[in-house]
Chain A
Amino acid sequence: MFANKRLSKELLKLQEHVPPGVSIAKSDNLEEWQMDIKVLDDNPIYQGQTYRLKFTFSNKYPIEPPEVQFIELPATSDTPRPIPMHPHIYSNGIICLDLLSSSGWSPVQTVESVCMSIQSMLTANSRNERPPGDSDFVAYNRRRIRDIPFVYEDDNV
């Protein structure tokens, strides 16, 4: 498969240019990358914060989506990274976003475009809350992210 080649090219492009508010935090192998994102407008929920996204690629990438979730680094570390508040982001970092599911993914998406989609998902949000059933989901979910049957009917958040 072409996963490695494609990822090394994506990396080359990202090293030349990253979109505003996005930066590479870790990309020393072609299986897992970490990206830092910031919300650029003055949305008070995300002001002054940086968030860390973890991308895990299978060897079927980009035919299959990468697994993408937020990860938390403690507030006491040099680079504190909380999990952003959002009605589609669970407190364990799992993101409910159509384009990351097997059925919503398209191979023309890239790490860069996924970062930008998540950025704009945060920018557009005005509700400082977790998804309904957050604590149960965090306690009981054992499925892989792309296999979770999220409902995407709520398109206005």
Chain B
Amino acid sequence: MAQALKKRGNELYVEGDFIGAEDYYSQAIAKDPHDPTFFTNRAVTRIKLEKWEDVEHDARAALSLYGKKDPASLKSSLYLAQALLALNRPQEAYDLTIVAYQFSLEVRNVQTEKLSGMLLRAKKALWEARETARLHEMDETLKSVEELISADLMRAEKELGDQLAKQEIGEVGYREDLRALREDAAKKVSHVREAFRISSKGDIQERVVPDYLIDGITFEVMHDPVITPSGTSFDRIGIVKYVEKAGVDPLTREAMSVKDLRPNYALKAASEEFLTKNGWAVDW
């Protein structure tokens, strides 16, 4: 009986009738609240509907029904992480995804790739939060202006929610308007930041790591630069791996060994100075 309801939900989902599908999955859950697939299917439907709190609820329900050691639970972790990011809770999303990612790697699950992508998205969201905090710390006025924009957005979102509740607008229109509101607010924030950046004459800058501090192999900031006989500096970890394997200079292809690498103290000092002033660059 419950399975038949799920099947009907799946059919509607494929047809693109997400509201209908959600309803059938809810009926299936009412009949049998112990089948995790009912919850995962409703979660993915609710992702389509952008009902993020509900996605969180369903994904957590599925996760607890599956238990920690079932690879089938990894999909639910992915849905949960997606919901948490949408709900602006990147730290929780990151903590959860990193555990799921390790587990997925161990059991060689097909979700590994998606989880790794999700990790990057969570990291980016975390960085954005840190960036906002940093900018606000530097400039009180910027903080006030951005808070006004965000209060404005919350008010508009609430009005829109009320309209939906009174059925003055439909679900689809609601989601479209909501997205437009958020995009508009994000645009305003970026304009304001740009204006403040120009007027600050360089105090509030786009943060860029200078090319000469970036290792040509790992593309990271060099912590321990060494110089090759041909005069190019690399971070120790990458160049040692390469030279051990290839036995040549990566630019000139002349024979060389790890012993030919010399520390580049001047560059190291420059790199350390930069990192002291720009701690963020460590996980750039």
Given A9-B219, A62-B217, A63-B238, verify A108-B116 contact (CB < 8 Å).
Answer: no
Give which listed residue, B113, B237, B251, contacts A106 with CB less than 8 A: B251
Is B220 touching A28 in the complex (CB atoms < 8 A)?
no
Q: How far is the CB of B106 from chain A (nearest CB, A)?
A: 15
Interface of chain A, main secondary structure:
loop
Nearest A-chain residue to B239, judged by Cβ? A107
Cα A103 to Cα B255 in complex, Å, equals 12
Q: Does B241 contact A (CB under 8 A)?
A: yes
- Shortest Cβ distance from B265 into chain A, in angstroms? 22
B245 at the interface (CB under 8 A from A): yes
Query: A56-82 interface mask toward B, CB cutoff 8 Å, 1 = contact, 0 = none?
Result: 000000111000000000000000000
Bound-state Cα–Cα, A113 to B217, Å: 13
Q: Is A5 within 8 A of B219, CB to CB?
A: yes
Closest to A12 in B: B219
Inter-chain CA distance A64–B242, complex, in Å, is 8
A62 contact set on B, CB distance < 8 A? 217
Chain A, residues 104-142, CB within 8 Å of chain B (1/0): the string is 001110000000000000000000000000000000000
Q: Is A30 touching B217 in the complex (CB atoms < 8 A)?
A: no
Number of interface residues of A (CB under 8 A): 18
Residue B207 lies at the interface, judged by CB distance under 8 Å to chain A = no
Contacting pair B217 A31 (CB below 8 A): no
Q: Are A108 and B251 in touch, CB under 8 angstroms?
A: yes
The 8 A CB mask of B232-260 against A (1 = contact, 0 = none) is: 00000110011001100011010000000
Take A106-B253, A107-B238 as given contacts and tell me if A31 and B220 are in contact as well, using a CB distance cutoff of 8 Å.
Answer: no
Is B120 part of the binding interface, using a Cβ–Cβ cutoff of 8 Å?
A: yes
Across-interface contacts of A106 in B (CB, < 8 A) = 250-251, 253
Residue A29 lies at the interface, judged by CB distance under 8 Å to chain B:
yes
Q: How far is the CA of A64 from the CA of B246 in the complex (A)?
A: 10
**B120: shortest Cβ distance to chain A, in Å?**
6
Total interface residues in chain B, CB < 8 Å: 18
Interface residues of A in 32-77 (CB under 8 A from B): 62-64
In the complex, how many angstroms separate the beta carbon of B58 from the nearest chain A beta carbon?
25
Which of B116, B219, B242, B251 interacts with A6 by CB under 8 Å? B219
Give the distance to chain B from A16, nearest Cβ to Cβ, in Å.
11
Q: Are A6 and B218 in contact (CB under 8 A)?
A: yes
With both beta carbons as reference points, the residue of chain A lying nearest to B216 in the complex is identified as A108
CB neighbours of A63 from chain B (8 A): 217, 238, 241-242, 245
Closest chain B residue, CB of each to CB of A105: B246
Report the Cα distance A6→B241, complex, angstroms.
15
Whether A2 contacts B218 by the Cβ 8 Å rule is yes
CB distance from A10 to the nearest CB of B (A): 7
**A107–B117 contact, CB under 8 A?**
no
Residues of A close to B113: CB separation below 8 A = 29-31
Q: Known contacts A63-B242, A63-B245: does B216 contact A107 (CB below 8 Å)?
A: yes
* Chain B residues in 8 Å Cβ range of A30: 113, 116
**CB pair A4 B253 closer than 8 Å:** no
Binding site for A on B (CB under 8 A): 113, 116-117, 120, 216-220, 237-238, 241-242, 245-246, 250-251, 253
Interchain Cβ contacts under 8 Å between A and B, 9 examples: A9-B219, A10-B219, A29-B113, A29-B116, A31-B113, A63-B245, A103-B246, A106-B250, A106-B253
Please give 11 more A-B residue pairs, beta carbons under 8 A apart, in addition to A4-B116, A28-B117, A29-B113: A2-B220, A5-B219, A6-B217, A62-B217, A63-B217, A63-B241, A63-B242, A64-B245, A103-B246, A106-B251, A107-B238
A residues with a Cβ closer than 8 A to B are: 2, 4-6, 8-10, 28-31, 62-64, 103, 106-108
